[in-house]
Amino acid sequence: MRIELEKRPKVSTLFSVLSPFIAFALTIVFGGIMFALLGKNPVTALYSFFVEPLSEVWSLHELAIKAAPLILIGVGLSVCFRSNNWNIGAEGQFIMGAIAGSILPVVFYDWQSPVVLPLMMLFGMIGGALFAAVPAFLKAHMNTNEILTSLMLVYVAQLFLDWLVRGPWRNPQGMNFPETRTFGADAILPEMIASGRTHWGFAFAIVAAVLVWFMMRYTLRGFEITVLGQSARAGRFAGFSSRKMIWFSMLFSGALAGLAGIAEVSGAIQQLRPVISPGYGFTAIIVAFLGRLNPLGIVAAGLVLALTYLGGEAAQLSIGVSERVTRVFQGLLLFFVLSCDTLIHYRIRLVWERFAATKTEEAH
Amino acid sequence: MPVKGQTASGPLLAVSNLTKLFGSFTACNAINLQIEPGEIHALLGENGAGKSTLVKMLFGVLAPTAGEIAWNGEIVRITSPSDARKLGIGMVFQHFSLFEALTVAENIALSMDRNVSLARVAEEASHLSRVYGLPLDPKAHVADLSVGERQRIEIVRALLQNPQLIILDEPTSVLTPQEADRLFETLFKLKSEGRSVLYISHRLEEVQRLCDRATVLRHGRVTGACDPRAETPASLARMMVGSEVAVVTPEGTNTRGDVQLEARHLSVPARTPFAVSLKNICLKVRAGEVLAIAGVAGNGQSELFDALSGEYPVADDKAIQIRRNPVGSRNINARRLMGAGFVPEERHGHAAVSTLSLSDNLVLARNQSDRRAFLGGGFLKIIRQGAVKAATKRVAEAMDVRKSGEDPPAGSLSGGNLQKFIVGRELDRQPAVLVVNQPTWGVDAGAASRIRQALVDLAKAGSAVLVISQDLDEIFEVATEIAVISEGRLSDPYPARELSREKIGLLMGGMYGKTEGAGAAHAH
């Protein structure tokens, strides 16, 4: 017996819709096997991982808080990935956005004004975009590989934040803890709904998703992104510049990652600490692909991946497994998402016997 | 060299009911074919007729869906090219599989047994190349060789296996007439040794000159088996195309107008190590004229197109002029706005994006030239799908583009239909200047004649048309003036009526001077 991949004559619409669901189902199955191997009852474990966090109002708010940065970053990355630019450093741009946005509440903490918050958001976007400008410049003008440069800059950002909160930006009244001042009231992103902690970052994420969806679907800019992503040569024929697209897509995704960073800090943490992200910038890559690089799909995918964070925390408490389970689930999910995409272009056939032998017998 | 293990009678290769499906598409449908020992057998057909699929099954690259292959009377299963070689089948592909950075001998050694030394390979190869009149230097690097020489490597590589059957896939499509003549001599020598040749082509004259028998394919089926010498080119074409091919009519007095497209001492350095630099190219195309640029592939055609289209602008503004505007440093859209249209050689990934719909591919080329019609919403630049779809429909109807559905992806169209759309996309704008690179490359005869006629008509209507082509038949059909490009240099233009094929062949080989008259070129 052998397994054959047969190219479909046409891209299967059915499987381009189904593939994320199949991937999610396979992740659950293999997650269950993993729990069983760890000696836990897979059903209760999966229940506490995926269902319990959805059963209470406060945990739904937590889900929205965690989904907000994932969606914001994922939407920005979708533009990048669609244009064939591989920004892997959103985590770094997230951190630099958070730092740039925190300049006002940390350095100029006396200044209380309603414009502080909008300015913080703007600074956050600029900070993220400037940090993404480094790999953009290197790719556009030095022909370096942006995957490597953007990834390496993540560590630069992480260590820079670490140095800031232990050094110049450390709270003078903070008992030597590596933290900045807590933000003033004017610098805190308010809650959206009365029932819980969900801040306006979630609204930013939804608005960004809808706007990018509109851009990709209806405008010449979206068309340019698609064309250059499919074929740089055809883009050149259309009069589009790959180099300008490197700049646009990197700055755009950097700005959204930066906005996610400052929204997270201002809305959820309300100060800077050595670590402000559980890897949102990397998880957002999975979000972008699980959402099929479609901004609306990314909203759904962001909620699913946010659930893996919550589930990891819940599973740690209720069944006593390491929170690294979260990473395992995210890894499984990415793996299955990418491999299920094969089904869109190929159909799988099991061949039990070589056809030629049977055909010859028939002929006799 | 003697031919090994040949049985006395019966066909060397007999194929019966060979079928290949790709999904629901039938590439080959119950093909029957017999090749006798010592014959040159032609496999004729348009692009997409199933010729390549058939020979890939014979050479073990593709597995047949049904049917059987008999070799010397025994039914065999060929599951890989090495199986095929062991049987005694050698193949020379249309697209060569050679490593440019390696030498000739190294490339040949790669397809041989591992335990043969490089020196022996080189020795055998140079022996064979002498015997068969295929001059080759085993130590030369492939990157430095012409396409004809590269083809010789492939042939020698196939001959080293001492095959009984050699399959050649469109071998002359890349050769000058003189190089092709040499290839034919080699093939006759192989035939005289009792070897068989399966010769794939769509060039009717060649097939008549060379082949003993011909099998004609159309839409994956055998539509004829004949002695090509007993047929006329027209009757062979009918079998291939299924209907009479319309004859392009270039006659009629074109009134020559002003110069619409001009290159003045255009020189462009090579962008990559394997590109060709353009050297001091001067050309003028007047309104009402079709200037055809002949030449063997890889002599600067694509570089010339890049410079003329503005995809890669040049430093000197005055080096290229469109309707008297210096545009050398302007980009492609600026040139389109001056009334120029462009059709590149490569359809997929250059002239069109295969995964995008036809209407999107219309926007691809016309997003600036037709922005008033196609874009709305001010700075948002929203694409007006209604206007674009209407224009797409207009183009498809004008050029008779056969497609599945209203607005299918470009990749789902056959080469000929997509090319008709790509050319029609420009014609729909009625460009004052049209630059076309290989307008009918890999296109079936019906679509080709339609496209050529459209080019001729455009010139008659008063536009300046520049056609870059490797196909001499095409050039003589459409051109009013002909120039030849060789190694990045362009010859003087000649009126199409005064130029013979021999003269073009000589010019292609680089034998040109700034002299008048055909005789003088021989003196160089």
What's B168-206 look like in SS3? Answer: EECHHHHCCHHHHHHHHHHHHHHHHCCCEEEEEECCHHH
Q: Please, are residues A182 and A270 in contact by the beta-carbon 8 Å criterion?
A: yes
- B13-241: what fold? Rossmann fold (3.40.50)
B380 interaction partners in chain A (CB closer than 8 Å):
219
Instruction: Specify the pLDDT at position A363.
Output: 40
- The answer to whether position A257 is within a domain reads yes
At A255-265, the pLDDT tens digits run 999 999 999 99
Q: Please, are residues B290 and B481 in contact by the beta-carbon 8 Å criterion?
A: yes
How many Å separate Cα B44 from the centre of its chain? 15
Sequence-ordered list of residues with C-beta below 8 angstroms from that of A36, at least 6 positions apart, any chain: A42
Q: What is the DSSP string of A21-48?
A: HHHHHHHHHHHHHHHHHTTS-HHHHHII
Instruction: Specify the pLDDT at position B321.
Output: 95
Q: How far is CA B211 from CA A332, B167, B196, B201, in A?
A: 60, 13, 11, 11
Residue of A5, A212, A220, A351 to mutate for B, most B C-beta atoms under 10 A: A220
CA distance A214 to chain B (A): 10
A10 interaction partners in chain B (CB closer than 8 Å):
412
Nearest residue in chain B measured CA to CA from A357: B77
CA distance A22 to chain B (A): 23
CA distance A239 to chain B (A): 6
Domains B13-241 and B259-353+411-522 are alike in CATH topology: yes
At residue B233, does pLDDT exceed 90?
no
Domain tally, chain A = 1
- The answer to whether position A126 is within a domain reads yes
At residue B153, does pLDDT exceed 50?
yes
Residue of A4, A12, A237 to mutate for B, most B C-beta atoms under 10 A: A237
Q: What residue type is assigned to position B519 of the chain? A: G
At B471-510, the pLDDT tens digits run 778 888 899 999 999 889 999 999 988 887 777 777 776 6
Residue B388's nearest CA partner among B412, B350, B361 is B361
Q: Do A227 and B353 touch (CB under 8 A)?
A: yes
Length of chain A: 364
**B387 CB burial (10 A radius; 0-12, 13-18, 19+):** middle
Position with higher pLDDT, B65 vs B22: B65
Instruction: Specify the pLDDT at position A354.
Output: 52
pLDDT lower than 50: segments of chain A: 355-364
Report the alpha-carbon distance of residue A281 to residue A260 in Å, rounded.
Answer: 10
Structure tokens at B208: 């008549």
CA distance B349 to chain A (A): 5
Alpha carbons within 13 angstroms on the beta-carbon side of residue A42 total 11
CA distance B101 to chain A (A): 23
Residue A7 has its nearest CB partner, among B23, B64, B354, at B23
**B405 CB burial (10 A radius; 0-12, 13-18, 19+):** exposed
Q: How far is CA A7 from CA B24, B27, B256, B366, B518, in A?
A: 11, 14, 52, 33, 54
At residue B359, does pLDDT exceed 50?
yes
Q: Please, are residues B294 and B484 in contact by the beta-carbon 8 Å criterion?
A: yes
Instruction: Specify the pLDDT at position A237.
Output: 96
Length of chain B: 524
Q: How far is CA B273 from CA A47, B101, B300, B309, B431, in A?
A: 61, 11, 13, 22, 34
What is the band of B271 on the pLDDT scale with cuts at 50, 70, 90? Answer: confident
Q: Please, are residues A264 and A90 in contact by the beta-carbon 8 Å criterion?
A: no
Q: Which letter does DSSP use for residue A184 in this model?
A: P
Residue B365 has its nearest CB partner, among A6, A8, A238, at A238
Report the alpha-carbon distance of residue B202 to residue B206 in Å, rounded.
Answer: 9
Q: How far is CA B385 from CA A218, A219, B319, B388, B392, in A?
A: 9, 10, 38, 5, 10
Q: What residue type is assigned to position B361 of the chain? A: N
Report the alpha-carbon distance of residue A149 to residue B226 in Å, rounded.
Answer: 64
Residue B363 has its nearest CB partner, among A223, A356, A360, at A223
The SS3 call for residue A167 is coil
Q: Please, are residues B212 and B35 in contact by the beta-carbon 8 Å criterion?
A: no
Q: Please, are residues B197 and B168 in contact by the beta-carbon 8 Å criterion?
A: yes
Helical (H) or strand (E) element with A107: helix A103-107
At residue B520, does pLDDT exceed 50?
no
B369 interaction partners in chain A (CB closer than 8 Å):
none
**CA atoms B388, B394, B398, B399: torsion sign:** positive
Residue A219 has its nearest CB partner, among B64, B336, B382, at B382
Q: Do A230 and B368 touch (CB under 8 A)?
A: no
Q: Please, are residues B413 and B403 in contact by the beta-carbon 8 Å criterion?
A: yes
For residues B244-253, give the mean pLDDT.
Answer: 58
Sequence-ordered list of residues with C-beta below 8 angstroms from that of B214, at least 6 positions apart, any chain: B41, B42, B43, B44, B207, B224, B225, B226, B227, B228, B231, B236
Position with higher pLDDT, B402 vs A164: A164
CA distance B113 to chain A (A): 28
Domain boundaries, chain B: 13-241, 259-353+411-522
Q: Please, are residues B339 and B434 in contact by the beta-carbon 8 Å criterion?
A: no
Q: What are phi and psi of B341, to 5 degrees?
A: -130, 155
At residue B253, does pLDDT exceed 70?
no
Nearest residue in chain A measured CA to CA from B355: A230
The complex's ipTM works out to: 0.84
Structure tokens at B317: 């503004």
Q: Which letter does DSSP use for residue A144 in this model?
A: -
What is the band of B244 on the pLDDT scale with cuts at 50, 70, 90? Answer: low
Q: Do A237 and B364 touch (CB under 8 A)?
A: yes
Average pLDDT taken over every residue of chain B = 85
Residue of A236, A351, A360, A364 to mutate for B, most B C-beta atoms under 10 A: A236
What is the band of B98 on the pLDDT scale with cuts at 50, 70, 90? Answer: confident
A219 interaction partners in chain B (CB closer than 8 Å):
377, 380-383
Report the alpha-carbon distance of residue A109 to residue B133 in Å, rounded.
Answer: 88
The SS3 call for residue B283 is strand
B25 interaction partners in chain A (CB closer than 8 Å):
9
Residue B383 has its nearest CB partner, among A220, A236, A238, at A220
> Which residue's entry shows tokens 């083809």?
B151
Report the alpha-carbon distance of residue B235 to residue B292 in Å, rounded.
Answer: 29
Residue A325's nearest CA partner among A35, A125, A6, A124 is A35
For residue A163, what are the domain limits? 41-320
* Strands B382-383 and B433-437, bridge-based pairing: unpaired
Label residue B234 left, alpha or beta by phi (over 0 means left) and psi (-120 to 50 means alpha): alpha
Report the alpha-carbon distance of residue A197 to residue A131 in Å, rounded.
Answer: 30
Q: What angle do CA B488, B491, B495 make, to 5 degrees?
A: 140
Helical (H) or strand (E) element with B34: strand B25-35
- The answer to whether position A337 is within a domain reads no
What is the band of B51 on the pLDDT scale with cuts at 50, 70, 90? Answer: confident
Q: Do B65 and A236 touch (CB under 8 A)?
A: no
Q: What residue type is assigned to position A50 of the chain? A: F
B63 interaction partners in chain A (CB closer than 8 Å):
356
Residue A233 has its nearest CB partner, among B333, B349, B382, at B349
For residues B312-333, give the mean pLDDT.
Answer: 94
For residues B58-76, give the mean pLDDT.
Answer: 90
Sheet holding B66-71, edge to edge: B25-35, B13-22, B66-71, B74-76
Instruction: Specify the pLDDT at position A49.
Output: 86
For chain B, the residues whose C-beta falls within 8 A of a C-beta of chain A are 22-25, 63-68, 75, 77, 309, 311, 331-333, 336, 342, 344, 346, 349-356, 360, 363-365, 367-368, 375, 377, 380-383, 412
Instruction: Specify the pLDDT at position B241.
Output: 65
Residue of B16, B362, B383 to mutate for A, most A C-beta atoms under 10 A: B383
Q: Which letter does DSSP use for residue B109 in this model?
A: H
Q: Do B383 and A239 touch (CB under 8 A)?
A: no
Q: Do A230 and B25 touch (CB under 8 A)?
A: no
What is the band of B521 on the pLDDT scale with cuts at 50, 70, 90? Answer: very low
Q: Which CATH number fits domain B259-353+411-522: 1.10.150.130, 2.40.30.110, 1.10.10.60, 3.40.50.300?
A: 3.40.50.300
Instruction: Specify the pLDDT at position A114.
Output: 93
- The answer to whether position A360 is within a domain reads no
Instruction: Specify the pLDDT at position B480.
Output: 92
Instruction: Specify the pLDDT at position A353.
Output: 58
CATH of the domain at A64: 1.10.3470
Nearest residue in chain B measured CA to CA from A359: B66
Long-range contacts formed by A26-32: CB under 8 A, 24+ apart: A26/A332, A26/A336, A26/A340, A27/A329, A27/A332, A27/A333, A27/A336, A30/A332, A30/A336, A31/A328, A31/A329, A31/A332
Between A and B, how many residue pairs show a Cβ–Cβ distance under 8 A?
A: 82
Sequence-ordered list of residues with C-beta below 8 angstroms from that of B276, at least 6 positions apart, any chain: B270, B298, B299, B300, B303, B487, B488
B333 interaction partners in chain A (CB closer than 8 Å):
239
Q: Do A8 and B23 touch (CB under 8 A)?
A: yes
Q: Do B67 and A359 touch (CB under 8 A)?
A: yes
Structure tokens at B229: 């010498």
Sequence-ordered list of residues with C-beta below 8 angstroms from that of B74, at least 6 positions apart, any chain: none
For residues B299-308, give the mean pLDDT.
Answer: 92
- The answer to whether position A341 is within a domain reads no
Q: What are phi and psi of B368, to 5 degrees?
A: -105, -45
